[in-house]
Amino acid sequence: IAIWKAREKHVISYAIFFYLFTIAMFSNIGKPIPGIIGDRFLLIPSIGFVIVLAWLIFKLFKAIPEPTYNAGKRIFFVMVFTALILIPYSYKTVNRNTAWFSDLSLYKADMKYLDNSVKAHDLMGTTIMRKTELELSKQVNVAKFLMPSINRALGHFRRAVEIWPGHTSSWVNMGMIYNNPRIAEHLMAKGDTAKYISFKKNAISSFSRAIELDPGDGKALFNLGLTYEYVGEADSAIYYYEKCVENNPKIINPRSRLADLKFMQGNMQEAISINKEIIRIDPMEALPYISFGNYYMMMGDTLKAVESYEEAAKRNTRPEVFAFLSEYFINSGDTEKAQMYRDKYMKAIQP
């Protein structure tokens, strides 16, 4: 019809071509498009659809879309019929707008249509955990109140890997939940040792599966090492930290954890050497200086420890370093420095 009417420069031809042109990029012809929240793709193409619909309504009632002819029963019926179409469309539009209140409400509204979508389940689980982790990062552990949300996120990741067992990021995301220290702290405080052990085993199996799929996945390698460290298997932790560093030469955190484990095993020089590597990679990284401070404290040399912590305080350090230095200088009688570090601590813990 569009081609046939094109010679006449007909409005129908224009509307159909406009619709086809604007919908083409979302039609999976060149590249598959994620099948979630797809209504946004139809905003511009719907103009072509509306033009055709309007033309058909005028044609149905034999009315002419010109102001000088818009009189009598024909145009009245056009307006009534248009209103009858607009009422349900308006209702659906307003109803759909409530789903767009937040990313979570939007994904939740669409999930009933997307149960077989790996992407949708992974996105839903990730969104739930992103909001949950904001709560878990607070000073007071509120994990016991968040367990329903955590279990819901786990359910989405499990469904994602059930649909496609080769989806690496869902395995990693599951492992991150199972190995979350605030969740582990809650389970131990609750006395649920069996679930704590189960979570650690599931973390190991999830990260291991991710590494089978992608042996160079830095996030999976690091977190598998971290899980082994948490359960006291230092040799396994060292192995995966070293693998992570091998596959990601510029990475910092695995190096720092590796150095600390080497120190705990009595390899002081190796620990220092690894921390110096971190300083070469990023001179403004605080972790090596925190580690040096911890080493000196464990060896009983408080003065050298404080020197190292002060170096860390000049960089992107953690709030606990400021708190320690503030308390140390209060006890030492240096109230000016104590107040300075107290102010930095208060600023660092601001949300």
pTM of the model: 0.77
pLDDT of 7 reads: 66
pLDDT of 350 reads: 81
Q: Nearest 10 degrees: CA dihedral of 222, 227, 229, 231?
A: -170
**How many whole angstroms separate alpha carbon 324 and alpha carbon 295?**
15
Output the six-digit token pair for 331. 């006890």
Long-range interactions of 96-105: CB distance < 8 A, separation 24+: 96/39, 103/127, 104/128, 104/131
Give the mean model confidence (pLDDT) for residues 116-140: 91
Mean pLDDT is highest, among 99-103, 108-112, 208-212, for 208-212
Query: Class for domain 104-251, per CATH?
Result: mainly alpha
Nearest in space to 19 (alpha carbons), one of 40, 47, 43: 47
Bigger pLDDT: 83 or 187? 187
Least confident of 11-25, 145-159, 314-328: 11-25
Where do the domains of the chain lie?
A: 2-101, 104-251
pLDDT of 238 reads: 97
Give the chain's radius of gyration (CA, Å).
Answer: 31
Q: How many CB atoms lie within 10 A of CB 241?
A: 29
Question: In the predicted model, is pLDDT for residue 64 greater than 70?
Answer: no
**How many whole angstroms separate alpha carbon 8 and alpha carbon 4?**
8
pLDDT of 66 reads: 59
Output the six-digit token pair for 217. 């996945």
pLDDT of 6 reads: 62
Q: What is the mean pLDDT of the chain?
A: 88
The answer to whether 332 and 306 have CB atoms below 8 angstroms apart is no
pLDDT of 62 reads: 72
